[in-house]
Structures are given as C-alpha cells and as structure tokens.
Amino acid sequence: MPATPTHVPEPSRTDPALIRNFCIIAHIDHGKSTLADRMLQLTGVVEQRQMRAQYLDRMDIERERGITIKSQAVRLPWAPTTGDGAGTTHVLNMIDTPGHVDFTYEVSRSLAACEGTILLVDAAQGIEAQTLANLYLALENDLTIIPVLNKIDLPAAQPEKYAAELAHIIGCDPSEVLKVSAKTGVGVAELLDKVVAEVPAPVGKADAPARAMIFDSVYDSYRGVVTYVKVVDGKLSRRERIQMMSTGAAHELLEIGVSSPEMTASDGLGVGEVGYLITGVKDVRQSKVGDTVTQLHKGATEPLGGYKDPKPMVFSGLYPLDGSDYPELRDALDKLQLNDAALVYEPETSAALGFGFRVGFLGLLHLDVIRERLEREFGLDLIATAPNVIYRVIMEDGSEHTVTNPSEFPTGKIAEVYEPVVRATVLAPSEFVGAIMELCQSRRGSLLGMDYLSEDRVELRYTLPLAEIVFDFFDQLKSKTRGYASLDYEPTGEQTSELVKVDILLHGDKVDAFSAILHKDKAYAYGVRMAGKLRELIPRQQFEVPIQAAIGSRVIARETVRAIRKDVLAKCYGGDISRKRKLLEKQKEGKKRMKMVGAVEVPQEAFIAALSTDEGDSKSKK
C-alpha cells in the first residue's frame, strides 16, 4: 500500500488540472460502499483502526439495507504510480450517488458534478436495470466511463462473460474492463491510477463570478443544513455573503470546507473543487439540489442548467394507529422534512382512520424508507393507505382538478382523466421474457422495444401507467422471474385513460380509505376482492350489513355480513358477576377503539388487514 501522499494541494488553492471528480454507479449489493471504504483506506484518509464497514453510509436503514440514500463527497489525495501523472499528488473527489430509481434527479445532479464515473458491476450478476439507467444518465452528461467488475474473488464470478456484456453496452474492448475485489483490495490502486489517467480535469473560469452547483444537502442536528457543492466557475470564500439563485435568498457562509471524510474547514473552494457550505439554515428546502450558489455582490446572472423542483409522484395516507399519536407523527414528519426536500405532506381526515397526513413521495422506495424511519426512529405505529398517483381530471365544463387522494375524485360530468406514465426498463435473463411481457400487458403496458444485452440477457422497455407499478408490480416481477429481473423507471409524462373511481360502501356509507381510482376494466375485480375481504373482516352487527363496491351510483359487487343473532352469556351466577363486569369494562374500552362508519362498528384491525396486500400474505407463506 502506498504511503500517504506528500505535498497534498490545499482546498481553495488546488490547480484544477490536478482535480478528478468522479462517482460510482452501481446496483444495490454490487459493492459500491465496500469499494469506497477501500479507497478511503488506500488513500490514507481513514486510518485502519477507525475503519468501519460502509464508512460513508450514515443512516442505520442504509447500513441495514445495504443501500445509499443520501450521497456525500469525499476528498482523497492520490499520487499514481503509473501513467503521465505518476508521482504527483492529485485530488480525487469521490461523489457518492444514491442507488435507487426514486432518486434519479439527485443522481443526475451528482453526475453533473463529475467528469467521470466508475461503472461498478458484480462479476457474478452482471449489470442491472437501474445501473443501466444511471449509465445512460452518465453518458448524457458526457462523463468518462470506467467499467469495473467487482467481486472477482467470488467462486460464482464470470468476469469474462460480464466484461463482454459491459464492453458491448458501452462500446469498448473487453480488455479495458478492470477487474477488482473491493473486499480484498485487489485492483483498487490500479483503479485509482486509471481515474487520474482517464477522467478529465474540471474546466471553469477562475476569474468569473462564482457559480457552484448544489448536488446534495443534508440536515445535521448540530450544524443545521450542510450543503454539498461543486464549484464550476470562480471561487467561494468563507465569511462571504452568498445567494441561492432559484429563490434569491441570501445567506452568510458560516463555514466552507471539504470532507476528507470528516468535515474540515478551509478558506474557500476554487474552480473544480467539491466541498460543503454551512449557512445556518435549518431546512434543506432552503438549499435545493440542483440550485446554483453565487456571491451576493457582483454574483453571476445566469444559473447553471438542469435545476428542477422535486415533484412527488406517489401519495399515501399515513395515519397513527393510536389517534393520540397524531402530534408525534406531525413532529416526526417535520423533522424528516428538514433533511428531505422531496417529502411533502398535508393533514387529512379519514372517517375510517381518523386524523393523519397525505404524504407525497418520489417513488416506492422513498415511501418505504420514510415509513420505516417513522416507525423505527420515532417509534410510531402507522397505517398506510394503498399508494396512489396524481390524477388530473378535466370536467366537461372545462374546470380542472388535481387529485392526490382517490376519495377526492370529483363527481359530475368528467371529460378526461390524465394519469402519469413512466418509461420502465426491465433487465432479466431471456427465459423470463414471456412472463415479463405477460405481467406488463396485464398492467396496461405497451412495449417500446427489446434488446439482447448478451446471449441470455434481455432489456425490455415499456410505457406503463405509474399507477400500475406503485402497488405490487416490483414484487410480482421478482416472483415471476425468481428474483432475477431488475427494474428502472422514469416519469415521461401523462396519458388519458378510462379511469373510474370505485367506492366501497358499508351499509350505504362510503369508506373513504378504500376508494380507489382504477382503469374501468379492473374496477370489477377490485370491487369483488375488497367486498369479499371486508365480509371476512367486519364483525357481525345487530343488523345485516351490506358491503357494496360502486362506481358512482352503479353497484358492481355486493356482499353481506349477516346480522349477529346471539350475543349473550348463558350463565351469570354469584361467582360470575365480577368477571362479567370486568369483561364489560374491557368491551367498553374495545368499543371506544371501534371506528364508526355510519352505524357500523368496525375494529381498526379490519381496516389494517383490508389495506394490506394479498401479495404480502402470500409472501409470508413462501
């Protein structure tokens, strides 16, 4: 292992020609974090004894799921032993990218901060759909691609096969694909040398007004918001007044510096440098990914391109199981929002579930992660309604409604309903093509194209309504392909569809939590399934309870909960009275927890069970 490089250039005084900004594109589990760990060790920024696995992943959930949600940038000194730069200490900024489909925009901003990327692929598994999608993003950003196969130490590794696949995809020679083992460290030094040799140095105007692009912002409870930037032009200096160009908001730079990997303050950041800013703001929405930072005085007039406001794609109602936890849920969402500019929510009330929030997410993983964090970090027990997408409803009178909650779907004469669509990419072994096509067809998909990546691996491209994939599509895809398929999608717009709202009525009263917007061909099946499910779950009442599924006033399915005929204890003598009274007290408590839908008492458990997916049940049986 090389000794720690000497004559390390200092931040704000680094020659852009010595800077290499790169990221690592990889699928979950393909070893990105392990490779990053190895780079930290090899460049000496983290001492051996301080090393812990996946050093850069800070959140417990990330560590447990082995995925990275928030990216970071680390400044690594590296003096290559080979090539033109041999012996000269360079500065490598490794920008960690989020690994999941929901965070495509954040990924695109991270990529925009780089000039090159390591395309890291598991030598036993080959490239996956998300990796491919991110690779295309990198190519769009004109990044230099360094293809790398990881885990070559595994017995199941097929480096020749997957080197050929990678070479085919990016159009290089298979011999150019580096082979490393992040676990053992084999090939990592050579990889760093190659980064120096192949990734172009950043280019910017040193004497222009400063323009720095925000590629990440993280809330830290001690320091407030930490904003990660890449300086494109000019220079940012400490104690300077800065401005966010999207909003015009001005802040004082309390601290500026680099991560190596602990935060280290510096005098400033110059052209091509990557580092962090602290301004004392408390909310990441004031420091938006993609925004341009400049000086307040004599600042730039043109922002860098590519900024977008995060837009939630998937909505779900989150309700505390215990209604008295509502304030805790609100506080928890407030806290999470400090660190998650894409999280939006507003209070809503459900007759069935009480007080809760309609929460918007970037996608399914985002929803999962937020829900899990709420439950784990804040100790909340939650009920989530089935996720839905945003619909745009045009009425015959020309008025327009945006629907984020199915129960708010307008009544009256509807001219057209628009739903969001995505371009989905599925990669899988070719033997599963039939099963995947069948699944996509059943989800109203239309095939855009199909390519063989290698002899036995296929890429399928579909246009699918987002609504068809938010619920259980991924689970279905996995189960139909024995876990081999990978999925990526990106929103591509909207389409009109023949959509209807299906209401579920108990004894004539609508249960808002079960209203759903569906394609008309699927409404009947949903109605039958929900009515049947509820018949099993709703306890018998003193009267007969009809359960109906209806589109408007048209009933499409009906079930009946028979009236209870016997609810009396046969014996009540001297020794039974205390027990009976105590039972009564307990039953009264239970009665308080019942939700009233009109005159029907429904235990909360019935709602929870009805909202859970059938697939969830079958999963536990496997």
Partner 1 sequence: MPSVLPDGEPVPHDGSLPADALAGAADRPLGFYLHVPYCATRCGYCDFNTYTANELRGSGGALASRDNYAQTLVEEVRLARKVLGDDPRPVETVFVGGGTPTLLRAADLGRMLAAIREEFGLADGAEITTEANPESVDPEYLGELRASGFNRVSFGMQSARQHVLKILDRTHTPGRPEACVGEARAAGFEHVNLDLIYGTPGESDEDWQASLDAAIAAGPDHVSAYALIVEEGTQLARRIRRGEIPMTDDDVHADRYLMAEETLSRAGFGWYEVSNWATSQPGRCRHNELYWRGADWWGAGPGAHSHVGGVRWWNVKHPGAYAQALAEGRSPGAGREILSAEDRRVERILLELRLSDGCPLDLLAPAGARAAARHVADGLLEAGPYEAGRAVLTLRGRLLADAVVRDLVD
Residues forming the annotated binding site for GTP? 29-34, 150-153
Which among 192, 188, 116 is positioned nearest to 149, based on CA atoms?
188
Phi, psi at 135, each rounded to 5° = -60, -45
Residue (6 or 578) nearer to partner 1, CB: 578
Encoded amino acid at 420, one letter: P
Q: What minimum distance in Å lies between the beta carbon of 540 and partner 1?
A: 8
- Smaller CB separation from partner 1, 156 or 568: 568
Q: What angle do CA 344, 346, 351 make, to 5 degrees?
A: 135
Radius of gyration of the chain (CA): 28
Q: How far apart are alpha carbons 36 and 96 in whole angstroms?
A: 9
Which of 465, 424, 429, 458 lies closest to 444, judged by CA? 465
Contact 346, 358 (CB under 8 A): yes
Measured from the Cβ of residue 587, the count of other Cβ atoms closer than 10 Å reads: 10
The one-letter amino acid at 368: D
Asked whether 219 and 284 are in contact (CB, 8 A), the reply is yes
CB 97 within 8 Å of CB 107: yes
CA distances from 234 to 15, 230, 615 (A): 13, 11, 55
Q: How far apart are CA 320 and CA 375, in angstroms?
A: 10
Name the residue nearer to partner 1 (CB basis): 222 or 573: 573
**Residue 165 in tokens:** 């696949």
CB-based contacts of 515: which residues, under 8 Å, 6+ apart?
A: 406, 407, 409, 501, 502, 503, 504
CA separation (Å) from 391 to 131, 403, 414, 422, 450?
A: 30, 5, 13, 14, 29
In whole angstroms, how far apart are CA 544 and each of 289, 351, 592? Answer: 56, 21, 22
Q: Which of 541, 518, 513 is nearest to 599 (CA)?
A: 541
The binding site comprises 29-34, 150-153
Who contacts 191 (Cβ-Cβ below 8 Å, separation ≥6)? 118, 146, 148, 178, 180
For partner 1, the binding residues (CB under 8 A) are 542-543, 562, 564-582, 584, 587-588, 591
- Structure token pair of residue 76: 């690594």
